[in-house]
Amino acid sequence: MQHLTIQDLKSQKLLLFECISGSRAYGTNLPSSDTDIKGVFILPKSDFYGLDYTPQVNDEKSDQVYYEIGRFAELLTKSNPNILEMLAAPPDCILYCHPLFEPFLKENFLSKQCKETFAGFAFAQVKKARGLNKKINKPMPPERKTPLDFCYIAIKQGAMPVQKWLEKQGWRQEDCGLVVISNMRDLYGLFHDPTGKMGFSGIIRKETANEVALSSVPKGTEPVALLSFNKDAYSMHCRDYKEYQEWLDNRNEERYENTIAHGKNYDAKNMMHTIRLLETALDILEHGVLQVRRPNREQLLEIRKGAYEYDALMALAEEKLARIDVVFASSTLPELPNRAQIEQLLVEIREKWY
């Protein structure tokens, strides 16, 4: 069987619910904003009972996403923000609602679990914003460092970078050999042979090496120095370098240019949604309501324009996170959504439809 398409859902009259979502539902849309659509459908009976279960149908850009009723119910038990926001869609954003789906709109499925799904996601975005700020303000050099940059020579009561030490000696790293010093983590005896007759491997064999090189040294030969390789710092550098390169490769250039343009060095659109999510979580935990269309539209759009300094925005997010912890402790919401109730509604819809 071919995969279902959005056109199939509509032509076969499989839709249960459809609404406008995203910025137009939040009230933060601009004239250039796309129109995001979310919906719920039910599989044809033969597909549901057979082997062709389709949990989700979406367009290429995921601007339109439709969940099969079983997948929708499963995500509802997990307090998924996208699912809960659909059920709380402003009336002018609801495009279609089948009578069988109406009971889902009439019930309140909010719980204390929303702290993790709304505020937890927002907290992750705050960390992401800090990481972006660091990447912009402290860009990494185009070339990854080598283990040589993390090697040091013991000098009296201190240490000197090995490359500076070699330069002072007038030596090449290729003429050096290392031998492990037993019971001393990442500490090596360093030997030198400018003739090349001893066949030393160098401190590193090549620029792309990830480890220092070991050499065979005749027994009884005295090392000229002790070398320490800060392997942990090198591993951290490699991880940061990889993340930075992935960010360069995958970043949304339009949003990055906007980030640079407003001069505040954070993803303004992302931070707008972060603050919105934190405020939504506060509403849920403190008042037991999910208000999709935000009352502070102007403030959110100011954040999107980059009107706030980075530190002020971080402080605002931290303040809201702290407030969420306080209201969570006194919230009267149930710990989790009522799974039995959700399952009952799911079963009733399937029975009546089929």
Are residue 11 and residue 133 in the same domain, yes or no? no
pLDDT band at 3 (very low <50, low <70, confident <90, very high): confident
Instruction: Tell whether 135 and 259 lie within a shared domain.
Output: yes
Residue 284 inside a domain? The answer is yes
Same domain, 60 and 193: no
Please state, rounded to an integer, the average pLDDT across all residues of the chain.
89
For residue 251, give the 3-state DSSP assignment: coil
* CATH code, domain carrying 19: 3.30.460
Helix (H) or strand (E) holding 20: strand 15-21
In terms of domains, do 46 and 195 share one?
no
182 and 42 share one domain: no
CA angle at residue 236 from 233 to 242, to 5 degrees?
A: 140
Tell me, yes or no, whether 238 lies in a domain.
no
Range of the domain at 167: 147-232
Position 239 in a domain: no
> Is residue 1 situated within a structural domain?
yes
Residue 288's nearest CA partner among 280, 276, 296 is 280
What pLDDT was estimated at residue 248?
73
- Say if residue 202 is in the same domain as residue 302: no
Q: Looking at the structure, do residues 126 and 257 belong to the same domain, yes or no?
A: yes
Tell me the percentage of the chain whose pLDDT exceeds 70.
91
Residues 196 and 127 in one domain: no
Residue 241 lies in a domain: no
User: 334: Cβ–Cβ under 8 A, 6 or more apart, which residues?
Assistant: 111, 112
Residue 265 has pLDDT above 50, yes or no: yes
What span, in angstroms and rounded, lies between the C-alpha atoms of 115 and 325?
Answer: 9
Domain boundary among 169, 199, 232: 232
Residues 6+ apart with CB under 8 A from 51: none
> What is the C-alpha to C-alpha distance for residues 80 and 72, in angstroms, rounded to an integer?
9
246 in any annotated domain: no
In a shared domain, residues 132 and 278: yes
pLDDT band at residue 325 using 50, 70 and 90 as cut-offs: very high
242 in a structural domain: no
How many Å separate Cα 1 from the centre of its chain? 35
pLDDT band at residue 2, thresholds of 50, 70 and 90?
A: very low
Q: End of a domain among 185, 204, 232?
A: 232
Q: Which of 203, 232, 261 is the endpoint of a domain?
A: 232
Residue 244 lies in a domain: no
- Whether residues 277 and 353 fall in one domain: no
State whether 99 and 116 are in the same domain.
no
63 and 211 in a common domain: no
Does residue 143 register a pLDDT over 90?
no
Instruction: Give the tens place of pLDDT for each residue, 284-309.
Output: 999 999 999 999 999 999 988 888 88
Overall domain count for the chain: 3
